[in-house]
Structure formats: C-alpha cells, structure tokens
Amino acid sequence: MKPSKEKFTITYKGKTIELPVYHGRQGPDVVDIARLYKETGLFTYDPGYRSTASCKSRITFIDGDKGILEYYGYPIDQLARNGNFMETCYLLLHGELPTSVQYEEFNEDIMKHSMLHEQIVKFYSGFRRDAHPMAVLVGVFGALSSFYHEHMNIDDPVFRNRATVRMLAKMPTIAAMAYRYTLGWTFVDPRGDMSYAGNFLRMCFLNPMYEYEEDEVLSRAMDRIFILHADHEQNASTSTVRLASSSRANPYACVAAGVVSLWGPAHGGANEAALNMLKEIGTVDRIPHFIERAKDKNDPFRLMGFGHRVYKNYDPRAKVMQQTAHEVLKHKGIDDPLLEVAMELERVALSDDYFIERKLYPNVDFYSGITLRAMGFPSSMFTVMFAIARTVGWVAQWREGITDPDQSIGRPRQIYLGPTMRDYVPMSERG
C-alpha cells in the first residue's frame, strides 16, 4: 500500500505538517496519523473508532451507503444463494473460492477434527444446569488452549493452519453440547458424512430413540445464516479478536475474547431483541401505536432490527434472510403471527417518510430471530449460532493480523479528566 500524491495538511500552534493519504481498493481515503503525536503533541479523539481504520485488510468490504457487503469481492447475496458455508470459509481463509479438490480436502479436514476430547466433555458438568449457553461456550472454547498448547508458535504457519481447523471444527460441537446440557439431554457426537450445518442441527436435535433424517430445507437455511454472519469487517467482536491477538495471545483465547464481545446485547443479541420487540407488539393492529411510539423521542421504545451502525441503505443480508424465513416457515407449516407482524411492520416502515428520511431499513437481525425460532431454537441460543458463524471471520482476521508486518500491540490513548498531581496525606492527618 503506497501513499497517494495528495497530502493531508494540519497546522497547530504555528507548525504545519503533511500527513500521507492512502487509497484502498474501495471505500474512503485514509489519513495516516502515526506521526501526529510525535510532531504536534496531539492525539485524536474518536469514541467507538467510527472514523478510525485500525488495520489493513483484504477480507471484507462494506459500503454502508450503497448497501454492499463483499467477501474478497464476492457479493454476500451471491455467496448465500449459490454457495455453501464450507466454501465461504475457504474463501475467507484463503482469498479464493476452492476448486472441487480443495473443497473436498478442506471439508474432510474440518469434519475429521470436530470431535471433542473426553476430558473437555467433562467440563460441562461443572456448569450450573441453568447457565446461559453463551457462558458455557466462552468457558469451554477458551479451555481449548489448555488441550492444544503443544508447539503453540503463532509464527509457524503449520500451527496456524492446525489451530484454524480445530477452531472451525470444534465450535459447533461445543455449541450443540451447550444447548443439550441446558436441556438435560445426552450429548451427540458429530458425524463426518453430513454438511457442516446439517451436522450441527443433528447434534442439537437428535432424539436417540429415533433415527435422524436430515432436513435439507432447514440445513440450507442454517447454512445461509452461517454465511450471512461469517464476517462483517472490523465490528466490536472482530476488533476484540484483533486487539487480543496484537499481544500475541494464543488463538483460542483470542476467539474466546471475541465470543465475550459478541455476547453483548448491542452486538450479537440484536436478533433476540428484535424478536422480543415483535412479541411486545403482538398483533398487526397494534403496529400504528408502536410506530408512533418509535417516532416519539421521549418514549424509550425503539424499533429493533431496523437501521444499522454501518448500513445507511438496505442491509444486503436482510433480503436473503427474508426469503429464508419464508422458506422455513412454509416448510414447517408454521403460521407464525410474529412473521405477519414483521411483514406489516416492514411495509409500514419502508413507506413512512420518518423512517425513509432516516434510512431505518430492516437489517439481518429483523428476520433471523423468527427463522431460528421456527427451526426450534430458544432465544438463548441465537447468539451462540452467531458465534459459530463468526468463528471463521475471527480466525481469518486473526491470521491476517498475525502475518501483517505493520501490526503492533494495540494501545489506544485517552483524554484524562481526573485530578492533577497531588501529594499523599497520611491517614492520621485526613480527619
């Protein structure tokens, strides 16, 4: 990446400096402020890092104004409609879609490592039965570093590849066991002759009293959900993984940190919040009342699943998710009143000047909660499945960061607002 001929000029206290400007392949130009403090004594203040590029990346591109999301240049809707999750994983990790031979080898490698060590399985009995599945996921996944610590050298590409396969392979098994543990069901071992998504559904829902038959419609829906959530540029959890890895921490711990960040209701819990909102509305005839409440700045009610921190246009994932929701509900024969509420709410919001002017379009969370509910998952598992999908994105970003020669340990600065220097007063003199 070479700087452009243009320079960003800043004058402060009579001193003028020129800072380099970089052009990405797409997106806005970026000012390199690495020399700013050294030459002016200034830091920048950017809460939430909304105007700060924390790294260089080739993986995911988002244009929020145009509603574009691409993995290595491939539009998300094309990948979700035409591909599958395993080839999307290969793309995110290697930068290109796999050949048939590469795909078979990659898929076989993932499935071969999906079993859990029996001692890891014993960890589950240490959790309370009513523990949140995300709490279990954080603990068990983080513990993988205690089992695969041999030759843990992140500079070794052999180790990085081995850790990559293990993390992708074991995450759905850990998640399915967390789900069954909360229900008191026996654990189900993975099978190597099923799809990644189909295998996960089997591990969740298998009743040992009966034969399990894979439902192709549900497996395809799960696969699409995984693709749509696989990566999303430098979001909170991905940035957490990148920041943790900048200290050269082991990858299992870095991804566990990502799971923790994802757990927050403002991040991974958004689809659950959208579902709860639809439940609160209840019926179509109550929608006008809640629309008016959403417009009232003094009313705490907000339309969940509308608008996005990045997208100022229609979330490209939402269109695929909407279609998937319809397919699942039709296949299951479920006449879910919440879908009727969702469809009417979407229609009203997209035709109302208030929402149009503010570009509050439905996002992917708006429909994913209904889809997962129709598939049989409780809302407590929604974020867990987000974590399964996002694992490949976290791992891809970890691999890219580790091999970036410009990466250094993250060290944000602050604006200090506390007391100025003062002397210590002995306790006996403090009254």
For residue 303, give Cα distances in angstroms to 146, 291, 306, 308.
43, 8, 6, 12
Q: What span, in angstroms and rounded, lies between the C-alpha atoms of 113 and 109? A: 7
* Residue 424 β-bridge partners: none
Tokens representing 353 are 């000047």
Distance CA 64, CA 235 (A): 13
What is the distance between the terminal CA atoms of the chain, rounded to a whole angstrom? 62
d(CA 417, CA 104): 57
Coil vs helix vs strand at 307: coil
55 half-sphere exposure, CB direction, 13 A CA radius: 28
Alpha-carbon torsion, ordered 368, 192, 72, 19, to 10 deg? 90
**Backbone angles phi and psi of 180, in degrees to 5:** -70, -30
- Look up residue 418 and give its two tokens: 């506390």
Contacts of 295 by beta carbon, 8 Å cutoff, 6+ apart: 354
308 is catalytic: yes
Hey, which residues does 173 pair with through a beta bridge? none
Task: Name 18's bridge partners.
Answer: 9
- Please pick, among 189, 308, 352, 406, the residue that the annotation labels catalytic: 308
CB 366 within 8 A of CB 281: no
Q: Which of 365, 404, 406, 423 is catalytic?
A: 365
189 catalytic residue (yes or no): no
**Cα distance between residue 61 and residue 25, in whole Å:** 9
Handedness of CA 244, 245, 247, 248 (dihedral sign): positive
Structure tokens at 153: 């050298």
Q: Closest by alpha carbon to 390, among 207, 246, 235?
A: 235
**Strand ordering across the sheet containing 30-31:** 3-12, 15-22, 30-31
Longest dimension (CA), the chain: 80
Cα–Cα distance measured from residue 256 to residue 134, given in angstroms and rounded to the nearest whole number: 11
d(CA 146, CA 138): 14
Smallest Cα–Cα separation from 281: which of 327, 346, 333, 330? 346
Question: Would you please indicate which residues are annotated as catalytic (active-site) residues?
Answer: 308, 365
